[in-house]
Structure 1
Amino acid sequence: MDFKKTASEIYKAVGGKENISGMTHCATRLRLNLKNESIVDDEKVKNIDGVVNVAHGSGQYQILIGIEVPKLYEEFEKVAGSNVVNNNDGISHNSSNTSIWNNIFSAISGIFAPLLPALAGSGILRGLLILCVQLGWISEKSGTYTIWYTTSMAVFYFLPVLLAYTSAKRFGASPYLSAIIGGALIYPDFISLMGKAGNGAITHFFGIPVVLMNYNSTVVPIILSIWVFSYLYKWLDKHVTENLKLVIVPAVSLAVMIPLTMIVIGPIGVYGGEAIASVVNWAIEHSRILAGILVGGGWSVLVSFGIHWAVNPIMINNIATVGYDFICPLTFACNFAVMGATVGVWLKARNKDIRSFALTGFVTIALSAIIEPTLFGLLVNNRKIWLSQIIGGAVGGAYLGVMHVTTNAFVFGSVTTFPAFIAKNGANFMNAMIGLLISLIVAAIFAYFFTKRDEKLA
């Protein structure tokens, strides 16, 4: 793919600077906020070299590229960057159909997408470390263990700093001042104020009581803080004269936002995030079969609309706070069901193009966990085959839910991320393999029967 050429053609096809109000990307998609999506010819965009498909969701025009989307985005920024200004408040305003939920999904996507490689890579290392300890290759008291543990857990410890940076990029605040705000929350002297009391300890700031929290690995507090900060930062940037901005803007920003976050926003964020996670986890604990069916079977539907990002922070929060998660294994069930569907198509169809596409999809998902090319290129256009994937994911997900399967890291579902299932409870890994095999086989069987011998790519 010629990224420069593709970026230029996409820019022209979606209406250029007159129609683009914002842009970002996730793991596989170029996500554009368009003032008017109706003027864009989807077929024209699909025919551009490098474009797999297009989708409409989360208040955005989503162009599926694949795992090379960051390279395309760099070129797209060069073409559109000087002409397109992202929304000042970090949310979409492109159509009358935009809702608060679309705004939230869009913001979550923009905030978490840049961090997913670091989170996934750290998760793999964490799983391998657990395996090495269980096999007796590494002692938990050794320096090797400490260094490897630090390597795998650093991204979670410094999550407030990383999220501060990406949130600032999304909301239009200074990313460096935002990172300092995140860093202040995990500064050792601040944490030491809790003493042995832990969360809930009280200190005072000019007589104002401050409920102390441990913000290591937290998600919600810093995102809320930077969202609020974005308004202060833009107000200061507008009203402070140029010759004083270098000093006044950062000084006032830090002096206001760090205490405000510690006193008000932080505790609200911690308790709010814990409450949301608790509700979701309670629902899963009390109806594991239903959760497995809904997530395992329905995850591909969320992915097709680009709104699966709304669930990712819950999984990340679970991993960061309690060390494991019940939802992530269910997304594995979906991915392996997609792989199963490709197997069924490959076995039944006789058309070389669809067989080749199915095989490529299987390998891609097995190695990289990217299901979008197969989802949009095969399943969306062949609804019965998509149904076979949904059934397979639901059945496998139900098994994973019943057997209480968890992951010790936030990862994407592929063969390469199996270490995330390694736990002190050896049955967890075995049940995970059984559940994923069920997803794959059930989907393959249904896809085989639903696929016509003369089936072709749409």
Structure 2
Amino acid sequence: MSNSAQQIVDAVGGPDNIASLTHCATRLRFQLNDASVVDAKKVDSIDGVMGSVPQAGERYQVIIGGAVQSVYNEINALPAMANAGANSGGAKGGQSAEDIKAAARAQGPRGKFSWLDNFFEFLSDSFRPILGALLGASLFITFMALMGTLGVIGNWADPRTDLPASWQFVNFMWQSVFVFLPLMVAYNATKKLGADPWVGFAVMALVMLPGFSAMAEHPDAYQASIAGTDVTLVDIFGIPLTIFGYGSQVFPPLLMAAVLGPLYKGLKKIIPANLQLIFVPFLSMLIMLPLTAFLIGPIGVFAGAGLANVLQSVNDFSPFIFAIIIPLAYPFMVPLGLHWPINAIMLLNIQTLGFDYIQGPMGAWNFACFGATAGVLFLAVKDKEVQMRQTATGALAAGLLGGISEPSLYGIHLRFKRIYPLMLVGCLVGGLVQGFGGGQVHTNAFVFTSLLTIPAFDRIGLYALSIGGAFLVAMLLVIIFDYRTPEQRAEAKAAKAAADGQDVAGDASMPGGVAGAAPAGVAAADTAGTGSTRAAGAAGSANAADPKDAVNDDEQAKASQWLAALGGPENVTQTDAVAETRLRVEVKDSAKVDQEALKSAGLPGAVQVSSNLWHLVAGSDANQYAAAMAAKVGGQPVG
């Protein structure tokens, strides 16, 4: 993958254009000095890249999938990156991290709704680094659920169940993640906001101490009602302290980090640099420890409970409506990051109710998403689109086995807008199946909705039917109606024709093959396997200073014939070499194009993409033909 790492760096403008680089669960996240120089087509064509997403504020994201950590490390290990700002928070070319941030601020706001963009990014970065741990824990949960379904153990999700010691230990293996989730979120969220993450960790750890929870049994503890909820209080120096169990809570650490971040930066501004190491953390903790215990923590608990009550009210009013709303809303929430608060509510439901009712209908959305990806994969295999086949294969594997939708969304669905309406039909079908089945598909723990976690749901038959219907409908609709526009389909057709031409050429070069069986337009040296008459270094040199030096006489002659069939050089405005096997030709008047003449001149295939745009399937020497034609037209090929 090291070659791909170098290619990615080159495609985004080189090391000098990279201000900083981080990554999430599936994407490389570049902060660039100038995003306009990124070669998006080149990025998308790199082996291992599933797609790219340009963003506001000179930011650019490259979708890698599950191997993102390895690619990130390989990019940072490149010698050319030694002085670049590719390390998170690193400096570029002698600039300090503060210089880079100041330059970014000088560029102006990231957009009209930059605060909203920053908020979603804050939520995402607070959770994404721990996705691996959450996914691993969800598989432990699935195993326990399967053992419970088979009757091997009792209700593993109920802490009151007296499990044998061995099974208790297995149960602890997933609880180690979810019980201490607030500490992980506190660390990530604090780090995201530029404060010391270990200070955030320590602040949140206060309310998770066993002794803190045990204060509910203190002789001085008493009961009270706050916002209609019975809580336990104990007076600390005359101030009432609310005692909660903070295990699995995520709203309190998010709110805590939101306060700690600005506080920490403010203290660094007013405290001399030689005293910051001691007094910035100390004063931050002095303020935040009691503030979190007395105010921020309870506010976070009540805020989460309030949101959970709203969703529960909808579910209680009509499980049928709820089963439809959730899968139809998720395709729009996930790209914005709005699903993270819902994930927090799922955890809260499990803590307070002992089960969650959101993940069942959410599974219909996930499998509709994966079904659409399966449809894309089918068409990519059919049309021999190698890059899309690789992208869809990786995305489908991440979805079906891990329940992760990001590779599908960012690598495919958001790039081809025709997919979303088809996928929504799949979401609707999955929701309707659960709705007509009575809804109320529950799970006792937080899991990623994949094939492996189906046993974690109580109404397995209804749930499996729902996600199966969502998957099949979305997949079939994509296959039937396609995910590409007519122009994109024409390009795929041209690519398939080119691939077929190359297969024939390869057969001709086999022992016993006939050289003349290859399509016209492919050099004899390439078909017969003999030496080439092309000038040294000519292959792939369509951008050479003098195109005539990069092509042989046969290619020059064919280029002249093709130009004549296209209506003459005066009818051609531009020629590009694309996808290594095709020419993209823009003409003034397509009525002057003679397809029969093109065929007679030895062109393997020609496809009219739009009114004045044609793709010519030229074979593996497309670069040479583009160079020759461009020289005759009086310009240079862009490809």
TM-score bucket of the superposed structures, by smaller chain: 0.7 to 0.9
Cα displacement string for residues 161-199 of structure 1 (whole angstroms, at most 9, x for unaligned residues): 111111121111112222111111111221111128676
Alignment of 1:403 with 2:425, yes or no, is no
Q: Which residue of 1 aligns with 2:25?
A: 27
Cα displacement string for residues 11-57 of structure 1 (whole angstroms, at most 9, x for unaligned residues): 6369735xx4x654322122345677556553344344543222256
Alignment of 1:237 with 2:268, yes or no, is yes
Q: Which residue of 2 aligns with 1:127?
A: 142
Q: Which residue of 2 aligns with 1:416?
A: 452
> In the alignment, which of 154, 166, 189 is matched to residue 144 of structure 1?
166
* CA 253–396 in structure 1, closer or farther in 2 if over 3 Å, else same: same
* CA 147–284 in structure 1, closer or farther in 2 if over 3 Å, else same: same
CA RMSD of aligned residues (A): 3.6
Q: Which residue of 1 aligns with 2:385?
A: 353
Q: Which residue of 2 aligns with 1:293?
A: 324
> In the alignment, which of 95, 108, 112 is matched to residue 97 of structure 1?
112
The residue identity in structure 2 corresponding to 1:239 is I
> In the alignment, which of 338, 351, 365 is matched to residue 334 of structure 1?
365
User: Does the Cα contact within 8 Å between 1:344 and 1:444 map onto a contact in 2?
Assistant: yes
Q: Which residue of 2 aligns with 1:12?
A: 13
Cα separation, 1, equivalents of 2:136 and 2:208? 23
The residue identity in structure 1 corresponding to 2:425 is I
Cα separation, 2, equivalents of 1:277 and 1:24? 33
Alignment of 1:210 with 2:210, yes or no, is no
Cα separation, 2, equivalents of 1:200 and 1:136? 37
Cα separation, 2, equivalents of 1:251 and 1:378? 48
Deviation at 1:265, TM superposition (A): 1.0
Deviation at 1:112, TM superposition (A): 0.4
Cα separation, 1, equivalents of 2:295 and 2:76? 37
The residue identity in structure 2 corresponding to 1:28 is T
Cα displacement string for residues 103-155 of structure 1 (whole angstroms, at most 9, x for unaligned residues): 21110011000112212221221232132234343464310122112211122
What does residue range 236-275 of structure 1 map to in structure 2 within 5 Å?
Answer: 236-275=267-306
Please state whether the residue corresponding to 1:411 is helix, strand or coil. Answer: coil
Identity of aligned residues (%): 32
User: Does the Cα contact within 8 Å between 1:58 and 1:103 map onto a contact in 2?
Assistant: no
Alignment of 1:170 with 2:192, yes or no, is yes
Deviation at 1:160, TM superposition (A): 1.9
Cα separation, 1, equivalents of 2:44 and 2:479? 28
* CA 304–235 in structure 1, closer or farther in 2 if over 3 Å, else same: closer
The residue identity in structure 1 corresponding to 2:285 is L
Please state whether the residue corresponding to 1:211 is helix, strand or coil. Answer: strand
More divergent stretch after superposition (189-198 vs 302-311):
302-311
User: Does the Cα contact within 8 Å between 1:126 and 1:152 map onto a contact in 2?
Assistant: yes
Higher relative contact order (CA 8 A, sep 6+): 1
User: Does the Cα contact within 8 Å between 1:110 and 1:166 map onto a contact in 2?
Assistant: yes
> In the alignment, which of 399, 423, 435 is matched to residue 389 of structure 1?
423
Alignment of 1:189 with 2:187, yes or no, is no
Cα separation, 1, equivalents of 2:427 and 2:198? 42
Deviation at 1:205, TM superposition (A): 2.9
User: Does the Cα contact within 8 Å between 1:124 and 1:409 map onto a contact in 2?
Assistant: no
User: Does the Cα contact within 8 Å between 1:120 and 1:409 map onto a contact in 2?
Assistant: no
> In the alignment, which of 118, 127, 131 is matched to residue 116 of structure 1?
131
User: Does the Cα contact within 8 Å between 2:368 and 2:471 map onto a contact in 1?
Assistant: yes
Q: Which residue of 1 aligns with 2:542?
A: none
User: Does the Cα contact within 8 Å between 1:293 and 1:398 map onto a contact in 2?
Assistant: yes
Q: Which residue of 1 aligns with 2:498?
A: none
What does residue range 426-445 of structure 1 map to in structure 2 within 5 Å?
Answer: 428-445=459-476
Q: Which residue of 1 aligns with 2:523?
A: none
Cα separation, 2, equivalents of 1:24 and 1:296? 31
Cα separation, 1, equivalents of 2:352 and 2:60? 34
Alignment of 1:65 with 2:64, yes or no, is yes
Cα separation, 1, equivalents of 2:317 and 2:362? 19
Cα separation, 2, equivalents of 1:15 and 1:310? 37
* CA 409–331 in structure 1, closer or farther in 2 if over 3 Å, else same: same
Structure whose CA Rg is larger: 2
Deviation at 1:63, TM superposition (A): 2.4
Cα separation, 2, equivalents of 1:452 and 1:211? 54
The residue identity in structure 1 corresponding to 2:40 is D
Structure 2 unaligned segments of length 5 or more: list them.
Answer: 92-96, 155-161, 224-229, 496-639
User: Does the Cα contact within 8 Å between 1:202 and 1:212 map onto a contact in 2?
Assistant: yes
Q: Which residue of 1 aligns with 2:343?
A: 312
Q: Which residue of 2 aligns with 1:200?
A: 231
More divergent stretch after superposition (224-233 vs 110-119):
224-233
Please state whether the residue corresponding to 1:352 is helix, strand or coil. Answer: coil
Cα separation, 2, equivalents of 1:188 and 1:227? 25
* CA 42–203 in structure 1, closer or farther in 2 if over 3 Å, else same: same
Q: Which residue of 2 aligns with 1:446?
A: 477
Cα separation, 2, equivalents of 1:57 and 1:285? 40
Cα separation, 1, equivalents of 2:21 and 2:481? 39
Cα separation, 1, equivalents of 2:108 and 2:216? 43
Cα separation, 1, equivalents of 2:444 and 2:269? 46
More divergent stretch after superposition (411-420 vs 363-372):
363-372
Please state whether the residue corresponding to 2:241 is helix, strand or coil. Answer: strand
Deviation at 1:243, TM superposition (A): 4.8
* CA 180–371 in structure 1, closer or farther in 2 if over 3 Å, else same: closer
User: Does the Cα contact within 8 Å between 2:123 and 2:337 map onto a contact in 1?
Assistant: no
Deviation at 1:246, TM superposition (A): 4.2
Please state whether the residue corresponding to 1:193 is helix, strand or coil. Answer: helix
Deviation at 1:259, TM superposition (A): 0.8
Cα separation, 2, equivalents of 1:343 and 1:247? 55
Cα separation, 1, equivalents of 2:56 and 2:324? 24
